[in-house]
Amino acid sequence: MKKQNLLFPLLFVLLVMMGCSSDDDITPNDPDDGDGQIDPPTAEYEPLNLENYYNGTGVMMQAFYWDVEPRHQWWEKLTEKVDDWADAGINRIWLPPASKGQSGGYSMGYDPSDYFDLGEYEQHGTVETRFGSRTELDALISAAHSNGIEVIADIVLNHNSGGGLEFNPYRGYETYTLFNEEFGNASGRFNRNYENFYPNSTSNWYDNSLFYPETNLDHNQEYVQNWLWAADYSVANYYKNEVGFDGWRFDYVLGFEPWVVKAWLDEVGGFSVAEYWDGNANNLINYIEETGSGVFDFATFYKLDEAFDRNDDLHSLTGDMVWQTYPDKAVTFTANHDTEKDENEDNFISYENKLKAYAFILTHPGYPTIFYSDYENADFKEELQQLIHINNTIATGDVEVLYVDEDEYIMKRARTASSPGLILYINTNGNTKIKEGIDTDWNQAMIMDYSGNIDYNPITDENGMVSLRAPANGYAIYSIMKQK
């Protein structure tokens, strides 16, 4: 991942004010002229060079939205963007399922038919997938790796689709469960029939509430395990060793047992995040502990939704979230391909609140994800780039919520030996907010808003206390300045 060097208007404002004299970016000195009082000498200040605090965390880009266009050109389009994303501080990109689905050139990949057809075989009316050809996928992965970006494969381990019709004796009627070179599996690798789906001769279990229950794979079968992850010729090993994927996003894990993900990771390793769609933090934590995989932090997503939209009350931001227990396994997000489609109102953070939600996840612990359509939105892009920059540099240290009410939320990331720390101030009120008596880690230090949203540069007192401001219906992210 490349490091950034972003500038915004405040960075060109050199302020001459009374402050503490120091060349130390983290802890300005508090000089004493001998009268027993800490006197702020005259000094010229400028913003910190955040590059000096690069922390190696990074951010993941969800590199698609539902029904991406133009069809058959998506891999090429992404290849053109990876340089910019790397410069912005993105260190992973999550691709949609790359294999051929039943819907052929219209498929978003969540109707998997041939796991080994990545745009190479004529079937379901097309050679290329919706996203392009295998050659174009290879070029994208190569470009990403050249920029220090890992590529994450979306893996769908159930609800197969697009097979041929056959009589299924375990259901007593015909099902689309025949996958071979003639029906939906032109690669000839991982051929399957009704015996490989629930129920079958070795298992009477089935759950008709699942997506496509008739083609829900039986992962307990050795044959299925070998083809998906256990054997050298498996999907997992092929995607990792031959295609070049670096990690996994597991789709709809509520449709199969946690041990499947654990077994996959034990075999091939790599970064992993599971789509366990549940807003209960404890359930998500239990899944982490059962599988060793990261999870999308739906608990945080729903707290953000409650705070900014459903309840319009920022007290929700102090609720239970996965990052509080497993910051290294919590993949935080504000939007994805599912929440942003079909005018979703139940699982959706509104346009006017998006950037405040991003400010939250990009200053708090966890591994943040940026949604493609948000980043490529001209109204959001510059602000998101600065938030990513802050995440990748000074967003470290212990979290302490300093103040919260219905329309104000103030959080501190503590100063450490290698970072100055920060204070996030979110305001959902229609007017500028001022909060007095905020206890910082900075004594007699000039501070500024590194988001660039408010032009305000107070000096903390000898005890680190200060009055902060937040713009109307917005946020500020404060940290210290340094002597010029």
pLDDT tens string 390-422: 999 999 999 999 999 999 999 999 999 999 999
Give the pLDDT mean for 50-67: 97
Residue 232 is labelled as binding a ligand: yes
Domain 59-391 fold: TIM Barrel (3.20.20)
- pTM of the predicted structure, to 2 decimals: 0.91
Distance of alpha carbon 292 from alpha carbon 265, whole angstroms: 8
Task: Indicate which residue of 275, 305, 306, 374 is catalytic.
Answer: 275
Please tell me the predicted confidence (pLDDT) of residue 30. 39
Distance of alpha carbon 60 from alpha carbon 110, whole angstroms: 20
346 is catalytic: no
Expressed in angstroms, the distance from the first to the final Cα of the chain is 29
Give the pLDDT mean for 437-453: 97
pLDDT tens string 279-290: 999 999 999 999
Q: Is 176 helix (H, G, I), strand (E, B) or coil?
A: strand
Give the pLDDT mean for 148-163: 97
Share of the chain above pLDDT 90, in %: 89
> What residue segments make up the domains of the chain, in order of their start?
9-48+399-483, 59-391
Please tell me the predicted confidence (pLDDT) of residue 484. 87
pLDDT tens string 76-88: 999 999 999 999 9
Lowest mean pLDDT among 314-318, 344-348, 475-479: 344-348
Q: Is 358 helix (H, G, I), strand (E, B) or coil?
A: helix
pLDDT tens string 21-37: 233 333 333 333 333 33
Q: What is the average pLDDT value for the chain, to the nearest integer?
A: 92
Q: How far, in Å, are 81, 279, 368 from residue 328 at the CA level?
A: 27, 18, 11
Residue 5 is labelled as binding a ligand: no
Please tell me the predicted confidence (pLDDT) of residue 33. 37
Cβ atoms of 468 and 423 closer than 8 Å: yes
251 is catalytic: yes
Q: Is the peptide bond before 199 cis (omega within 30 degrees of 0)?
A: yes
Task: Indicate which residue of 128, 251, 340, 374 is catalytic.
Answer: 251
Class of residue 429 by CB neighbours under 10 A (exposed 0-12, middle 13-18, buried 19+):
middle
Q: Is the peptide bond before 420 cis (omega within 30 degrees of 0)?
A: no
Distance of alpha carbon 445 from alpha carbon 128, whole angstroms: 58
Give 126-130 contacts, CB < 8 A, sequence gap 24+. 126/72, 126/100, 128/72, 129/72, 129/98, 129/99, 129/100, 129/101, 129/105, 130/68, 130/71, 130/72, 130/74, 130/103, 130/104, 130/105, 130/106
Tokens standing for residue 190: 């991982």
Which architecture, in CATH terms, is 9-48+399-483? Answer: Sandwich (2.60)
Distance of alpha carbon 105 from alpha carbon 127, whole angstroms: 8
pLDDT tens string 241-268: 999 999 999 999 999 999 999 999 999 9
Q: Is the pLDDT of residue 196 over 50?
A: yes
Give the pLDDT mean for 125-152: 98
